[in-house]
Amino acid sequence: MAQLGGQGQQILILPEGTDRFMGRDAQRLNILAGKILAETIRTTLGPKGMDKMLVDSLGDIVVTNDGVTILREMDIAHPAAKMLVEVAKTQEDEVGDGTTTAVIIAGELLKKAEDLLEMDIHPTIIAMGYRTAAMKAQELLEGISLEASDKDTLMKVAMTAMTGKGSEKAKESLAQLVVEAVMQVEEDGEIDKDNINIQRIQGATADESKIVNGIVVDKSRADNAMPKKIENAKIALLKYPIEVKDLETDAKIKLTDPSQMQAFLDNEEQMIKDMVQKIIDSGANVLFCQKGIDDLALHHLSRAGILAVKRAKKSDMTRLEKATGAQLVTNIEDLTAEDLGEAGQVYEKKIFDDVLIFVEECKDPKAISIILRGSTRHVAEEIERALEDAIGVVAATLEDKKVVIGGGAPEIELSKGLRNFADSISGREQLAVAAFAEALEIVPKTLAENAGLDSIDALVDLRSAHETSVYMGLDVFLGEVTDMKESGVVEPQRVKKQAIQSAAEAAEMILRIDDMIAASGAFEGGSDDMDMGGMGGMPGGMPPMM
Ligand code: ADP
Ligand code: MG
In a domain, 499, yes or no: yes
**pLDDT exceeds 50 at position 534:** no
Would strands 490-492 and 215-217 be described as parallel, antiparallel, or unpaired?
unpaired
In a domain, 313, yes or no: yes
Average pLDDT (437-466) is 96
Of 102-106, 280-284, 514-518, the least confident: 514-518
**Residue 107 in 3-state DSSP?**
helix
Give CA torsion, residues 21, 26, 32, 37, to 10 deg: 90
How far away, in angstroms, is 456 Cα from ligand 2 center? 23
Supply the range of the domain harboring residue 121. Answer: 21-146+405-517
pLDDT tens for each residue of 337-386? 999 999 999 999 999 888 999 999 999 999 999 999 988 888 888 899 89
- The atom number, within ligand 1, closest to the CA of 163 reads 20
Kindly tell me the burial class for residue 284, based on how many C-beta atoms sit within 10 Å of its own C-beta (0-12, 13-18, 19 or more): buried
* pLDDT value, residue 46: 92
Q: Provide residues with CB under 6 Å of ligand 1.
A: 44-47, 49, 67, 97-101, 160, 163, 406-407, 443, 447, 474-477, 489, 491
**127 and 63 in one domain?**
yes
pLDDT tens for each residue of 146-186? 999 999 999 999 999 999 887 677 889 999 999 999 999 99
In a domain, 33, yes or no: yes
User: One of 66, 75, 339, 461 is an active-site residue; which one?
Assistant: 66
In a domain, 78, yes or no: yes
Residue 136's nearest CA partner among 438, 414, 502 is 414
In a domain, 385, yes or no: no
457: phi then psi, degrees, rounded to nearest 5: -60, -45
**Distance between first and last Cα of the chain:** 4
pLDDT mean across residues, the chain = 87
**356 and 305 in one domain?**
yes
Question: 546 with 17: CB under 8 angstroms?
Answer: no
Cite the beta strand spans of 368-424 per DSSP E.
Answer: 368-374, 402-405
**420 and 324 in one domain?**
no
- The atom number, within ligand 1, closest to the CA of 66 reads 2
DSSP designation for 164 = T
In a domain, 271, yes or no: yes
For residue 53, give the CATH number of its domain.
1.10.560.10
Name 231's bridge partners.
Answer: 345
Which residue's alpha carbon is at the smallest distance from atom 4 of ligand 1? 98
Number of domains in the chain: 2
Distances, alpha carbon 129 to alpha carbons 126, 287, 383, in Å:
5, 61, 40
Ligand sitting nearest the alpha carbon of 65: 1
Last residue of a domain, one of 364, 396, 417: 364
Q: What is the share, in percent, of the chain residues with pLDDT greater than 70?
A: 89
In sequence order, what are the residues at sequence separation of 6 or more whose Cβ sits closer than 8 angstroms to the Cβ of residue 214?
A: 323, 324, 343, 358, 359, 360, 361, 362, 365, 368, 369
The pTM assigned to this predicted structure is 0.85
